[in-house]
Amino acid sequence: MERRRFLTGLASLAALPLLGCGVSPLRVGIHAWIGYETLYLARNLNWLPDSVKLVSGANATDSLKGLRNGELDAACLTLDEVLLARSQGIPLTIATVFNVSAGADMLVARTGIQQLDQLAGKRLGVESTALGALMLNRILHSAGLPRSAVRLVELAPDEQLAAWQQERVDAVITYEPTAGRLLAQGGTRLFDSRSLPDTIFDVLALRTDASGTGSLAALVNNHFRALEHIRTNRQDALYRIAGRQNVSLPQVEQALAGVVMPNLTANRRYLDEQDSRLAQAAHQLHDIMLDHGLLLRPDRLQHLFSPRWLPEERE
């Protein structure tokens, strides 16, 4: 698929001033996902200031726990995970949109399941999140099946590959890099997020009451520098990403093909306008989460996102 055009000239942006001595570092929770690789890439290229610390976890649950316990100042999360955290009293504001899923989130089924309606009576692995619920609802609707027609198996993302290899599931709602590994082991893609355009967002969210937030603008700036590096030095970027994730170059290409990584101009549209697609998706997910009892309380969605940490555009 055609990538959104990245902002030209970002690679020449000067690094923002670093924080002085004695200022708390910005601790950022992160886990394996192709949309977050820009931050790892920036670190690998020695672009991140010393005042930024990437804290790797197994999944988003680790990041949410870190935010809740005050061990993290920011985290890489999906939009629904941001809403979940806010309902738990964690004051989060979105500072950047990393990517919009356009095929990277998918349903992978075993050989013999060639159509969605063949999921009837099968064991379907799914993460117990709003995103999992959203994908499940769309899949069952497309299959013409009630929820009772499938046997749901709750699986965290880092548990899905083992469950597949142990034949504990017949199909899995998953995402890269696990999706690519399941496909390489004979799985079949039956449904993906291309059927949910501008709905599944991955973002950088800041805990607004935390210390160490002064380096956030530098981190965001270097995310866009890394995007530009992927565009202008693609082979170098692919090798670095493949080496870090321990996957092949074709798998990295496949993962990148499943996401749209919005440039700075697109980020301004997402974060500036209250009627943007990000705001619309937030309202949709909010209602789904309330219906499924995933939110402790309704969210008025005030101060959900802000463009204040985005760098200035240059001609």
Per residue in 169-193, pLDDT tens?
999 999 888 898 999 999 999 999 9
Domain boundary residue, one of 141, 165, 195:
195
Phi, psi dihedrals of residue 185, rounded to the nearest 5°: -95, 20
Q: What total of structural domains would you count in the chain?
A: 2
Q: Does 284 have pLDDT greater than 60?
A: yes
Q: Measure the CA–CA gap between 310 and 53, rounded to whole angstroms.
A: 19
Q: Does 146 have pLDDT greater than 70?
A: yes
**Which residues touch 92 (CB under 8 Å, ≥6 apart)?**
67, 82, 85, 86, 205, 206, 207, 208
| Same domain assignment for residues 142 and 260 | no
| Same domain assignment for residues 78 and 145 | no
Span 77-123, pLDDT tens digits: 999 999 999 999 999 999 999 999 999 899 999 999 999 999 999 99
**Which residues touch 34 (CB under 8 Å, ≥6 apart)?**
99, 104, 176, 177, 241, 252, 255, 256, 258, 259
| Same domain assignment for residues 175 and 211 | no
Distances (CA, A) of 60 to 67, 269, 270, 277: 11, 26, 22, 23
Question: Is there a contact between 113 and 119 (Cβ–Cβ < 8 Å)?
Answer: yes
What range does the domain containing 52 cover?
A: 10-14+22-100+200-291
Would you state the pLDDT for residue 171?
98
User: What integer is the mean pLDDT of 198-210?
Assistant: 92
Domain boundary residue, one of 177, 195, 213:
195
Span 35-51, pLDDT tens digits: 999 999 999 999 999 99
Whether 315 is in a domain gets the answer no
DSSP letter at 312?
P
Span 236-245, pLDDT tens digits: 999 999 999 8
| Same domain assignment for residues 32 and 89 | yes
Whether 298 is in a domain gets the answer no
Q: What percent of the chain has pLDDT over 90?
A: 70
User: What integer is the mean pLDDT of 223-251?
Assistant: 95
Would you state the pLDDT for residue 98?
98
| Same domain assignment for residues 36 and 175 | no
What pLDDT band is residue 154 in, cutting at 50, 70 and 90? very high
* Mean per-residue pLDDT of the chain: 89
For residue 251, give the CATH number of its domain. 3.40.190.10
| Same domain assignment for residues 267 and 157 | no
| Same domain assignment for residues 217 and 89 | yes
Q: How far is CA 126 from the centre of its chain?
A: 16
Span 2-29, pLDDT tens digits: 323 322 233 333 333 333 445 689 999 9
Span 125-143, pLDDT tens digits: 998 877 888 899 889 999 9
Query: How crowded is residue 56: how many other Cβ atoms within 10 Å of its Cβ?
Result: 13
Would you state the pLDDT for residue 108?
98
Would you state the pLDDT for residue 2?
30
How many residues are recorded in the chain? 315
Query: How crowded is residue 9: how many other Cβ atoms within 10 Å of its Cβ?
Result: 11
Whether 55 is in a domain gets the answer yes
| Same domain assignment for residues 90 and 125 | no
Whether 283 is in a domain gets the answer yes
| Same domain assignment for residues 270 and 226 | yes
